[in-house]
Amino acid sequence: MNGWIYVIGFAAACVLAIILTPIMKKLAFWVGAVSVPNHRSVHTKPMPLLGGLAIFFAFVGSYFVVMPAADVTDKDHIGLGLILGGSTIALVGALDDRLNLSPKLKLLGQLIAAIVVVSFGLEIDVVNIPFGDSISIEQNWISYPLTIIWIIAITNAINLIDGLDGLSAGVSSIAAGTILVMALMMANPNAMVILLCAILIGSSLGFLIFNFHPAKIFMGDSGSLFLGFALSILSIMGYKQATIVSFLVPILVLGVPISDTLLAIVRRKLNKKPISVADKGHLHHCLMDLGFGMRKTVLIIYGIAIVFGACAVLMTQDQSWVTIVITVIVLLLLEVGAEAIGIISKTRKPVLQFLTRLRDAIAANR
Q: pTM for the complete prediction?
A: 0.84
Q: What pLDDT, on the 0 to 100 scale, is given for residue 241?
A: 45
**What's the chain's average pLDDT?**
81
In a domain, 364, yes or no: no
Q: What phi and psi values does residue 296 have, to the nearest 5 degrees?
A: -65, -40
Q: What pLDDT, on the 0 to 100 scale, is given for residue 26?
A: 96
Taking CA atoms, 17 is separated from 51, 230, 235, 307, 364, in Å, by 9, 16, 23, 27, 60
Residue % of the chain over a pLDDT of 70 = 74
In a domain, 141, yes or no: yes
343 residue type, one letter? I
Beta strand 134-136 with 34-35: parallel, antiparallel or unpaired?
unpaired
Q: Which range, of 177-186, 269-278, 328-337, averages the lowest pLDDT? A: 269-278
Rounded to an integer, the average pLDDT of 319-344 is 69
In a domain, 358, yes or no: no
Partners of residue 357 on adjacent β-strands: none
Confidence of residue 245 (pLDDT cuts 50, 70, 90): very low
In a domain, 92, yes or no: yes
Give the C-alpha separation, 56 to 75, whole Å: 20
Confidence of residue 275 (pLDDT cuts 50, 70, 90): low
In a domain, 123, yes or no: yes
Give the C-alpha separation, 12 to 276, whole Å: 38
Q: Is 360 annotated as a binding residue?
A: no
In a domain, 49, yes or no: yes
Q: What pLDDT, on the 0 to 100 scale, is given for residue 329?
A: 78
In a domain, 360, yes or no: no
Q: Which range, of 4-8, 134-138, 308-312, 349-353, averages the lowest pLDDT? A: 134-138
In a domain, 365, yes or no: no
With 0-12 / 13-18 / 19 or more C-beta atoms within 10 angstroms meaning exposed / middle / buried, residue 179 is buried
Q: What pLDDT, on the 0 to 100 scale, is given for residue 161?
A: 80
Q: Which range, of 11-25, 143-157, 256-270, averages the lowest pLDDT? A: 256-270
Asked if residue 75 has pLDDT above 60, the reply is no
Containing structural domain, residue 310: 4-353
Question: Is residue 35 helix, strand or coil?
Answer: strand
Give the C-alpha separation, 36 to 45, whole Å: 7
Which residue has better confidence, 245 or 320? 320
Rounded to an integer, the average pLDDT of 182-196 is 83
pLDDT tens digits for 90-136?
999 999 999 999 989 999 999 999 999 999 988 876 555 444 444 44
Total tally of structural domains belonging to the chain: 1
Residue % of the chain over a pLDDT of 90 = 37
Q: Is 76 annotated as a binding residue?
A: no
Asked if residue 330 has pLDDT above 80, the reply is no
Rounded to an integer, the average pLDDT of 318-333 is 68
Q: What pLDDT, on the 0 to 100 scale, is given for residue 352?
A: 74
